[in-house]
Chains A and B, each alone.
Chain A
Amino acid sequence: SQTIHQWPATLVQPVGSPLSLECTVEGTSNPNLYWYRQAAGRGLQLLFYSVGIGQISSEVPQNLSASRPQDRQFILSSKKLLLSDSGFYLCAWTAGGPSGTQYFGPGTRLTVL
């Protein structure tokens, strides 16, 4: 069966520091991968999605970036964090095809101070 992992689970970072969040998927190949941000008490905001290695589409311009160095690995990064980057970051995957249902990871709680 497929599983999706995210780490770290929680992170507290100072303003201006770099960021690296990792997401990996097991049990499937060539998944579509997604990064979402959820602000406190809010819905899901799509940040990036990837249909393959090295292929990244950005939905919202910001100081974040994403990379997909391997088929089942998706990384969210920033060179300098802002206070507004605080939130709950969720990675999701789909197998593509006619269903395309997204399955979410456990999330990373990021607090920028």
Chain B
Amino acid sequence: GQQLNQSPQSMFIQEGEDVSMNCTSSSIFNTWLWYKQDPGEGPVLLIALYKAGELTSNGRLTAQFGITRKDSFLNISASIPSDVGIYFCAGQVNTGGFKTIFGAGTRLFVKA
């Protein structure tokens, strides 16, 4: 079945550093989504990407939909302590129900 490989699994960075994480797959997706989950809460949508090559920003976050439609990356610039959490990528295919496949998540730790 379809799977997403999200990397890295975890990151320990210093406040102010830039962060990059990505998701890859052997399958093609129609939509890529990036979520952030704070401890003890549900994931919150950060960025949605709908077209191959699309580059979208949301504040200090930037995400891109890979040209091959098999990958996506998320960058966070000038990290701050509240960026701590788990970041999930998700890919969707339109199979009559928008099946969504989630990556395993990247745990981000930011040291002040």
Report whether A43 and B40 are in contact in the complex, using a CB–CB cutoff of 8 Å: no
Partner of B42, one of A32, A41, A42, A107: A107
Q: Does B88 contact A (CB under 8 A)?
A: yes
Contacts of B107 in A (CB 8 A): 41
CB of A43 within 8 A of CB of B97, answer: no
Q: Which of B31, B33, B35, B98 contacts A96 (CB 8 A)?
A: B98
Q: In the complex, which range does the number of interface residues on chain A fall in? A: 20 to 34
User: B42-63: which have CB < 8 Å to A?
Assistant: 42-45, 48, 50
What per-residue 1/0 map shows which CB atoms of B22-47 lie under 8 Å from chain A? 00000000010101000011111100
- In the complex, the answer to whether B31 meets A99 with C-beta atoms within 8 Å is yes
Spell out A's residues near B (CB within 8 Å).
Answer: 6, 32, 41-44, 46, 49, 51, 88, 90, 92, 94, 96, 98-107, 109
| Closest 6 pairs between A and B when the two form their complex, measured CB to CB | A100-B98, A104-B42, A43-B104, A44-B102, A107-B42, A104-B43
- Residues on B close to A: CB < 8 A? 31, 33, 35, 40-45, 48, 50, 88, 90, 92, 94, 97-98, 100, 102-105, 107
CB<8 Å pairs between A and B, sample of 14: A32-B97, A32-B98, A41-B107, A43-B104, A44-B43, A44-B88, A51-B97, A88-B40, A98-B94, A99-B31, A99-B48, A100-B98, A100-B100, A102-B45
Question: Besides the contacts A90-B43, A101-B31, A103-B45, what 18 more A-B pairs have beta carbons closer than 8 Å?
Answer: A6-B42, A32-B98, A41-B107, A42-B105, A43-B88, A43-B102, A44-B43, A44-B88, A44-B102, A90-B42, A96-B98, A100-B92, A102-B33, A102-B90, A104-B42, A106-B42, A107-B41, A109-B40
